[in-house]
Structure formats: C-alpha cells, structure tokens
Chains A and B, each alone.
Chain A
C-alpha cells in the first residue's frame, strides 16, 4: 500500500484546519484513527452491544467473543506466550500503576531501590513515587548522556543489591532514544531483578516479541496505536499475574464473595474489575488488523526514513537545534528555535495547519537536565510524508520572520 492510500484510510485528513490541509505531527501524543476503527465502535454500539463476561444471552456471548478476540490479536501482535498475559487497562498509565501498586505491596520494603531513567515520562515515575511514602523505598534515575541516550553501562552502574525492579522506557518520547531493552532485561535477570518496560512509544513503531525480549511487564497505550482512547494494555508474565495481589476490587474479578471473605477470579479477570472499555477493546482489534495489513516492519521502515529526512531538513535550518542524537532513534524530532519559545512556535505553526506539541512532554526531569523549560516536538506516524516535514520547515521559517 502506498502512503497516499494509507492516508486515505484516516478520515481526519479530509478536513481543513484553518483552511489548510492538516499536517499532523503529534502522533507521539496520540495518533489519528483509521475509518475501520471508527466504524467498529459505531457498529458495536448500533448492532452488537452488550456487556461482556456476565449474561448468557445472544448479544452477551457474541460481545464476549469479540472482546476476547482482541486479546488474542494482541497476544499474537506482541508474541506473548499466553493470551491470559494480556490485561486490558484504562491506559498505559493504569498499567504502570497496577504494577507499581501490586508489586510494591508485595515485594518492596524500606530501603529497597527502584531504578528508573532520566528519560521517563511522568507516568513511569509518579506511580513509583507513591511507594517512597508508603514503603520508604528509594528511587534512582539512570543518567541520560549528551546524546539523549541511556546506555546499558549506565543502567549497570546504577544497580545495587537493593535494586528490586527496573522500570524503563522503550523509546523516549523526547529524544527518540531506543533503549537496549533486551540487553537491559538480560542484565537485570542475571541479578534476579524484574523489568518493566514503558512501551507507549515502542509498541506503535517497533516490532515486538515478548518471548524474545523476556521482560516481566510491558505497558502499551492503545490510542497511540491508531486505536481508541481510554484503553491500555499490560503485558505481564503469567507467573507475576498469578503471584501478585489484585489491583482494583469489583465485579467480574471475583470467584466467590461471602461476608467472611472473598476469593478472586482466574486470569485475566483478576485484573479487570468492573465493566471494561468494551467498545474500545473491540475496536482496538481493528487497529491491530490495520497495522498487520501494512506490516509493522513497513511502518518502522517508513518512519525511520522520514526521521532521517526530517533531521536532514531541520539540520539545514541554522536556527533549529535538534534535541538528542541517540544511537538508535525513533520517529521523534524535538527541537528549539533560536529566539522563539516553543509555545509561540506551536501557535504560529497551528495557523498553517501544522500540529506539533510544545512544552515538557510530561518529562520534566529530562527537561531539567537539558536546562530547558520547554521544547517543540514533531512526532511521526504511518500517514506522514516528506511533504509534511517540508511544510514544518517552511512554517518554522515563518516563525523566524515574525520574531526577527
């Protein structure tokens, strides 16, 4: 499929933004949705709606099957060993909170250390922070180097005999650094330390294989993968999901409830309390099929080519300073423009229909290290083209002109 054909699958691009074609460069924040995903939500609510896993009428059984089909699609997409290792959550944030909470409850004690990196998104720091107060644990941050990378050696240097879990990003949403997560996992496991990977930026852009990667936990954000909002996925090795306590209590996650006590349900129900985001789960199945139809390898290749092109274009622009020059870089282009604050850049670009993000991108630790309060960020998706990056550059020149 050509990129133009792929782009046609996204109805948002039929709209004009302030009389301009939309140049959407904010996919690291959230991706646009193909028609098949939008249609699936509509069809489910109009023709097939029922709650899942409870009633035994026709619609309930059909909906339950559809819901479980997505679980299987996700399992295959990330090559997990067992479909019950896939837990639906309200987002990647909840997936990480689930692990921090349950793992923290059971395995962390005063003086224990959690190892993060300076690259982490707030959602892979704040959930762990609570354990400082409740458990008296210490949080360490493996340093980012001048390229915006965190190396295996830096991780190794920060591991002590107190380190109880390592939680790291797969792909930085600011510098674009792709971390050597497989090597880090291997190193951690050699010291009996489990690893959580924040895969928000990894899953939409890189081929995943949980059995090969061997990590203990992997968090996914569905709305960044051409899927609906309100949905995330926690992949966790079965041994953890069996061993750790439940996270939230409610309907659907129990086996037997009595006044004297409660027993909990089997996997995956144990971690899916209450009515889940059913329509979103079912529609997310279409997102996976959409990605599979193009091929994640092709998506990655396309985005890598565009990233190289974007870097080339922006490097030629003398006023632009790119943030981060990691060894292995995902499709994120963060930058500053001489004499123009990122917020002013974003407003001026928006006038041309160019959607970027400006700010700290939920990474204040990283920005503090950079000595910047904010950066501008263009991030790519399957629908982007070289023309989009040329337009970005042209609009940046317009910013310069206004502020000259």
Chain B
C-alpha cells in the first residue's frame, strides 16, 4: 500500500482548488450526497436543458481531499454531456472503483481517464471508497437515475 497512490498530485491539486465549486443561480436539478460515517456532504447542482444535456454543473460541500477532488473532476467531465452518456460514464466510473481494473467507456477521453484513474487508489482503502463516490451518487440522484436492484453501485 502506498500513500502516494492515494494522494496523487491530481487529487491534491483538485482537493486544494476544486473546480465548479459553489451554487450557481439558475440550476433546475440538485441533490445531496451524504456520508453518515463522517458527516461529509456534497451537494450537486445542474442546469439540465430539454434535450437532457447538462448545460452547467457545480457542487457545494465539505469533505476530505478525495471527496472534493472527485466532485471537482466529475463536474469538469460532465459539463455538456447528455443523458445516456452521463449514465454510461457514471456507471463506468463506479464500476472501476468497485472492481474493474480500468475504465471501458469510449465516451471518456484518454486524458480524462487519467484524471479519473487517479481516484482508483481508494480501492486499497475500503473505508475511503465512499469518499470517491459520494459526488457521483449525488449526480445520479439529481438525474433521477434508479439504482440497479442487484448492484448498489450501478444505475439503470
């Protein structure tokens, strides 16, 4: 186990300077992710147009470097994405954190994959997995996705 794998440069940088932080005025969807274990909260705001495209996205919250960095990277990635793509990326990321060694979706560019994979260090720290996924669950809830009956880390 290596702390450097968990606290990669990308994570520390995003944790310190999160992108898309703060509520914006004309959001029309929002949801809160909450980790009862630690009390950390991430609130995701979306402006979703009639084509179900994310025109704008931001988050508010307090939490550890992992949860803040994950929310920051997620909001960067999801801006301008459309509904079925959002779900595919979300499931791909959650699947990677849960078990898959890599990201499979072709919708994610190589440099974006590098950023997302920087969060894979949590796999070695089971108590920290929730930190990496809290924002993603909030996004799923804001998008009204339903959880797969047999897999709590997959949305249908």
Query: Which A384-404 residues have a C-beta within 8 angstroms of B?
Result: 402-403
Q: Are B38 and A359 in contact, CB atoms less than 8 angstroms apart?
A: yes
Task: Please determine whether B128 and A343 come into contact, CB atoms closer than 8 angstroms.
Answer: yes
Known pairs A347-B125, A351-B3, A403-B12; A341 contacts B64 (CB<8 A): yes
A358 within 8 A of B: yes
The answer to whether B12 touches A402 (Cβ under 8 A) is yes
Neighbouring A residues of B62 by C-beta, 8 Å: 373
Given known A359-B38, A360-B39, contact A343–B12 (CB-CB < 8 A): no
B65:A341 contact, CB within 8 angstroms: yes
- Please tell me the number of chain B residues within 8 Å of chain A, measured between CB atoms: 19
CB distance from B127 to the nearest CB of A (A): 8
Verify if A21 is at the interface (C-beta below 8 Å from B).
no
Question: Given the complex of chains A and B, what is the CA–CA distance between A198 and B78 in angstroms?
Answer: 48
| A132 to B42 alpha-carbon distance, docked (Å) | 30
Q: Flag whether B48 is at the interface (Cβ < 8 A).
A: no
Contact A402 B41 (CB under 8 A): no
Please tell me which one of the listed residues A18, A347, A364, A402 contacts residue B39 in the complex, with CB atoms under 8 A apart.
A364
Asked whether, in the complex, the Cβ of B39 is within 8 Å of the Cβ of A367, the reply is: yes
A344 at the interface (CB under 8 A from B): yes
A348 to B6, CA, bound (A): 10
In the complex with contacts A341-B64, A403-B12, A403-B65, A347-B38 CB distance below 8 A: no
**Chain B nearest CB, measured from A190 CB (Å):** 39
Q: Which residues of B contact A342 (CB under 8 A)?
A: 38, 64
Identity of the chain A residue whose Cβ is nearest the Cβ of B2 in the assembled complex: A351
Q: Does B135 contact A (CB under 8 A)?
A: no
Q: Do A343 and B1 form a contact, CB below 8 Å, given A364-B39, A402-B7?
A: no
Interface positions, chain B 28-42, Cβ under 8 Å from A, are 37-41
Q: Are B39 and A343 in contact (CB under 8 A)?
A: no
Report if B116 contacts A (CB, 8 A).
no
Q: Given A343-B128, A344-B66, A359-B39, 19 other A-B contacts at CB below 8 A? A: A18-B1, A341-B65, A342-B38, A342-B64, A343-B40, A343-B66, A344-B65, A347-B6, A351-B1, A351-B3, A358-B38, A367-B39, A373-B38, A373-B41, A373-B62, A373-B63, A402-B3, A402-B7, A403-B65
